[in-house]
Each structure stands twice: as structure tokens, then as C-alpha cells.
């Protein structure tokens, strides 16, 4: 809790009486939020960002959208949903580390509990991941460990997979290689193409990503042993 005092005016009398006045000064008590603070990193359209915000996860505050692509649609979504956003292009930095140092400088003020990569088109270096150890999760459009990297739905179709899906996992020093938190499965049918399969995967992503954030916020992850994530049975 913190106390902020500001000068009152006659126009404020009706409103300020409910708080109480001391001399010519108004005492306002501000209760600091104890919510679980989340930042979403996104570079694209932001459908998962919007799904997270609209899920209204109990005791979770979406404190920030971070975007590295100017004119990305997700910035418009953030504005419409009244979520603060930071736009910082990675272009113009001499190195990945220099860019990530600047990102950290921008977001450190938010005292974040979790960073969610949802369509963020940059691979974060070990420097960044270690700075936020076990506080960064990623959403990948495949059933990991299958079909890592780019164009995962296309890879699944070309391989002839009967099932596809999406994975929420912790981010480690590799690419799509961290411990798995949740997965969602969709059927691959004969007439699926890359567009139709991707749409089915998107719908499943909108389900499991808010769930993953919720279980982390509620402390439901019991422990991580190697690559295995143990979740409380009552989730």
C-alpha cells in the first residue's frame, strides 16, 4: 500500500469528502495490485493475445504487450483492449544482445511474473532467457517434439501426420525444446490444407494458452524434473 497526497480544489469537494481532507490537502489511499503480472510478446496479428485478454484469467493482469514489428495488427488489438504496449524494432541494433538489453530496460519497471511468447518472431538468446529464468513460455503450433521451427502445420501435412496440434512450453536455450506444460490435439482430415489445419490449431491455441497461464499463476506447477513438468492433480 502506498499513500499519495495531492492538492484539492473546491470543485473536488463532493468527491474528496468521501476520502477525507486534511487542511488543504487530499489524502488518497492507493491499494497496490497483487495480481500475477503477465507480458505478451507478439509480432503478428495477435489473435492469441486477444484470446488471453478476453479470457479474463482470475487474479491475472495482462500488464503489457511488447511488439517488435511496426504496424503489426496486434498493436491495434492492444489499443482496442486498453492494454499498454511497447513497440521496439530489433532493426538497427548491432547485436541480438544489444536489442535484448534494451527490451529488458523497457519492461523491468512492470515487475513481471511471466512473459508469454505468442507469435513472437524472434529467437531469444540465452542472455534473455537466463535473466527471466523459468518465467518465459512459448506457444508452438505443433505437438512437440515433432515439427519444430517454422511452418509446423505444413510440416505435419507433408509428413502425413494423422494428428496435429499445439504446445505451450517453457523456453530454454534451444528452439522449441523446453519442458512441455500443456498440449492440444486436432485431427488431420483428408481434405485439410495448410490454411484449414492452421485455423483448427489456432482455435485449440486459444483454449490451452490461457489455461497454461492460469495454472502457472495459481502455482499449480508442482515441480520440473529434467524435461517433465508435474502439475497438481486438481487442475
Which one is catalytic: 90, 140, 169, 206? 140
Give the CA distances from residue 150 to residues 11, 100, 140, 154, 232, in Å, rounded to whole numbers and listed in that order. Answer: 59, 22, 9, 9, 32
The three cell numbers locating residue 204: 485449440
> Residue 145, preceding bond cis, omega within 30 degrees?
yes
Question: What whole-number distance in Å separates Cα of residue 64 and Cα of residue 37?
Answer: 9
Give the CA distances from residue 128 to residues 9, 89, 106, 116, in Å, rounded to whole numbers and listed in that order. Answer: 48, 16, 13, 13
**Residue 140 is among the residues annotated as catalytic for this protein:** yes
Contact 40, 50 (CB under 8 A): no
Active site residues: 140
Amino acid at each position: 500500500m502506498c499513500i499519495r497526497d495531492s492538492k484539492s480544489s473546491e470543485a473536488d469537494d463532493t468527491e474528496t469528502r468521501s476520502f477525507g481532507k486534511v487542511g488543504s490537502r487530499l489524502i488518497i489511499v492507493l491499494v497496490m495490485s497483487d495480481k500475477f503480472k503477465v507480458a505478451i510478446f507478439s509480432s503478428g496479428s495477435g489473435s492469441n493475445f486477444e484470446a488471453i485478454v478476453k479470457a479474463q484469467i482470475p487474479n491475472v493482469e495482462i500488464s503489457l504487450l511488447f511488439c517488435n514489428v511496426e504496424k503489426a495488427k496486434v498493436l491495434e488489438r492492444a489499443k482496442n483492449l486498453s492494454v499498454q504496449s511497447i513497440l521496439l524494432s530489433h532493426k538497427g541494433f548491432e547485436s541480438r544482445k544489444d536489442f535484448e538489453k534494451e527490451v529488458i530496460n523497457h519492461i523491468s519497471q512492470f515487475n513481471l511474473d511471466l512473459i508469454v511468447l505468442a507469435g513472437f518472431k524472434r529467437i531469444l538468446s540465452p542472455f534473455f532467457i537466463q535473466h527471466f529464468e523459468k518465467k518465459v513460455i512459448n506457444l508452438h503450433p505443433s505437438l512437440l517434439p515433432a515439427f519444430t521451427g517454422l511452418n509446423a502445420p505444413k510440416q505435419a501435412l507433408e509428413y502425413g501426420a494423422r494428428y496435429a496440434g499445439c504446445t505451450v512450453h517453457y523456453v530454454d536455450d534451444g528452439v522449441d525444446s523446453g519442458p512441455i506444460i500443456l498440449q492440444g490435439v486436432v485431427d488431420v482430415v483428408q481434405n485439410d490444407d495448410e490454411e484449414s489445419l492452421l485455423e483448427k490449431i489456432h482455435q485449440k491455441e486459444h483454449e490451452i494458452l490461457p489455461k497454461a497461464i492460469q495454472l502457472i499463476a495459481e502455482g499449480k506447477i508442482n515441480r520440473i524434473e529434467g524435461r517433465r513438468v508435474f502439475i497438481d492433480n486438481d487442475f
